[in-house]
Structure 1
Amino acid sequence: MLKKIAAITAVAALALTSHATQAAEEWPTRPVRILTPFPAGAGPDAWLRVVAEKLQKKWGKPVVIENKPGGNGFIAIDAWKQRNGSDKGAGDAHELIQLDNVHLVAYPSLFKKLPYDPAKDFDVLQPLFRGYFFVTVPTASTYKSVADIVADAKSRPGALNYGSWSVGNPVHLGSALFESMSGTQMQHIIYKEVPMLYAAVANGELDWALGTLGSTNALAKAGKLRYLAVGAPTRQSFAPDVPTVGEAGGPAGFEITGWTFVAAPKGVAKPVADKIRADIAAALAEPDMKDRYATFGYTPYAPTPEQFAGFIASESAKFAEVVKRAKVSLD
């Protein structure tokens, strides 16, 4: 009897595996929608559209990008969760979402109560890029290196300022990390929009600010701001003359990066999740993407699921410490 039960169980398991594999081969069966918390035209949105165009060709179904900016990304997350509720069918991979790194690694430390559960709501599939942040100053600034900023900040505690577009975003937390690592104290100035932030750097309202190439390159090319360094482990190929923060006399090992990822709802069949993950990775690896990475100021990032999980854990621990030292809370 036990042998018969074991045989029946094995056949059932094989049937389920075969069914799941077939479902993955047939997926998608209708248009795929990807929600994003980024406004249309922002760097992460534009990059997602590049990837979506390639996925659409591969999948043979429309891939629709829907922007729902605002509210720390919670508006997009709430809309996405409603579309993937229990009454909609568990784990519908036709409804995906693009999220920012802060949603996984910073907000759990910044908010006592989140409107989502990173562990229970998302099946994190694949990162889309990594973008390192540059230290920017007004063109007319007397600072010639990061060492100059550190020296001035130490001589005048609380006098220097830096900016970001909100509390808890990568630029704010990265700047707070810079303060911690350099042993300085400065003022954080918040601007309503990203363009306003870097315009404030250009006109001298801010002493310095962290910014991606995509957000600052137009002003740099116009001669309105300068790059002192990049918060990366090595110099970037698209900006080889810009030293790392450590090379420029700042804290050694200072690294701040932004990255986005695509997630599916929990419960998506593993073969389907694996297919989406592999197809995104293949799209990002296509030959024409090399120049596009440089244009956006992004770097490729294609870890295995295990490597990505380890990276997320490491980043979470780092930002938990930053939030604790900065005594920042959003509720």
Structure 2
Amino acid sequence: MTKPMLRRVAALGIPLLVAGLAAVPAAAQDAKWPTRTVRLITPYPTGGGPDAISRVLAEKLGRKWGQSVVVENRPGGNGFIAIDAFKRGAKDGHDLIQLDSVHLVAYPYLFKKLPYDPAKDFDVQATLFKAYMMMVVPATSKYKTVGDVIADAKANPGKLDYGSWSVGNPVHLGMEEFQFLTGTKMQHVIYKETSQLYTAVANGELPVTMGTAGTTAPLYKAGKLRFLAVTAPQRLAAYPDVPTSGEAGGPKDFEVSGWNVIAGPKGLPQAVQDKIRADIAEAVSGQDVLDRYATFGYVPLSLDRAGTQTFVAAEAKRHEAIIKRANISLD
């Protein structure tokens, strides 16, 4: 090799060597993550089931990581307040966000304009749980089965009310799917808060709706509500006496659920992502978390990265179909 050629090879090798040396500190930094307090932003208010899970998770992750993990509640605005705080936060994984299924697979088809892009702003790091819905009626209701509700709705098209707390939430979309599957037409009544909604059912003001076991359990245990069915593929372990929709005279294989995930920003180093996923999976597999899930009627949702991508894509397609069929849109 001539001297000029050697000089060119040496010149090419210098930046390669520098790049290689620069990669060492970056890799070491990734391995040490987290290096400070981690913020878990949640769109839920304090006191509810998702908030309770996030706090148990934060405590366990804090012990595992040797850094504080603080839960920051940013409720309201369809979750947009929490999402905005996350988008303006740290991009290195020290800010994470708890998201509901609607944020990822319903709102993109409901809102004409969204203040975020699910594909660009989030990378789901871990799935947590599914919350299946109970079909609920007043304890004094004439409805004893889901079949009774269907029969009355068919006999009185457009006159039977059901309620939820907004347009496009899992209850609203679930009841739209219920009407499609049963060939019925019902009237959607919107309440300002979930507490008002289920109190209205308990008082007999509203004849029927759906809700998670965690939300409706207090009134159910107080004898104010009756569970006609659970919209799940099988009965819940915490409520073994509550039949599935098919068992109660409703549509077979009728499923309605919300689900919960932890997401980070796009572009996190693979080592950081692997750590977050593995440590969250370990945390939520503990019996203490599983017991807490059962308290709220949640079912564990444990998926790896590939499984998560497949699941979210399928859920997006399903929600798109429901929303388009029902012709629902929001500004």
* TM-score (structure 2 length as normaliser): 0.93
The Cα shift of 1:106 comes to: 0.3
User: How far 1:154 moved relative to its partner?
Assistant: 0.8
When residues 238 and 19 of structure 1 are mapped into structure 2, their CA distance, relative to the original with a 3 A threshold, is farther
State the alpha-carbon separation in 1 of the partners of residues 9 and 320 from structure 2: 52
Equivalent position amino acid for 1:31 in 2: T
1:298 partner letter: Y
**Who is 1:44 aligned against?**
50
Name the counterpart of 2:330: 330
Deviates more, 1:2-11 or 1:160-169: 2-11
Task: Provide the C-alpha distance between the structure 1 equivalents of 2:176 and 2:117, rounded to a whole number of angstroms.
Answer: 26
Does structure 1 retain, via aligned residues, the 8 Å contact 2:122–2:263? yes
Residue aligning to 1:216? 216
Residues 138, 270 of structure 1: alpha-carbon distance in 2 compared, 3 angstrom cutoff: same
In structure 1, C-alpha distance between the alignment counterparts of 2:177 and 2:157, rounded to whole Å: 16
Given candidates 52, 64, 76, the residue that maps to 2:70 is 64
Q: Is the 8 A contact 1:24 1:275 kept in 2?
A: no
Q: Which residue of 1 aligns with 2:302?
A: 302
CA pair 13-106 structure 1, distance change in 2 beyond 3 A: farther
2-structure distance, mates of 1:235, 1:9: 62
- The one-letter amino acid of 2:35's match is T
- Identity, % of aligned pairs? 57
In the comparison of the two structures, how many residue pairs are matched? 325
CA distance in 1, matches of 2:30, 2:265: 16
> Displacement, 1:124?
1.0
> Which residue of 2 is the match for residue 199 of structure 1?
199
Larger Rg computed on CA atoms: 2
1:26 paired to 2:32: yes
Cα distance in 2, alignment partners of residues 304 and 4 from structure 1? 45
Q: Secondary structure at the match of 1:328?
A: coil
Q: Deviations 1:162-198 (Å, cap 9, x if unpaired)? A: 1111111111111111111111110111111111111
Q: Classify the secondary structure of the residue corresponding to 1:119.
A: helix
CA-to-aligned-CA distance 1:252-278 (integer Å, 9 cap, x gap): 111011111111111211110111111
Match of residue 115 from structure 1: 115
Shift in alpha-carbon separation, 1:23–1:112, aligned structure 2, 3 A? same
CA distance in 2 between counterparts of 1:34 and 1:299 reads 22
Separation in structure 2 between the aligned mates of residue 96 and residue 295 of structure 1, nearest angstrom: 25
1:203-282 matches, within 5 Å, as: 203-282=203-282
Summarize the Cα distance change of 1:145–1:22 in structure 2 as closer, same or farther, 3 Å threshold.
same
RMSD: 2.1
What is the deviation of 1:326?
Answer: 1.2
The answer to whether 1:142 aligns with 2:148 is no
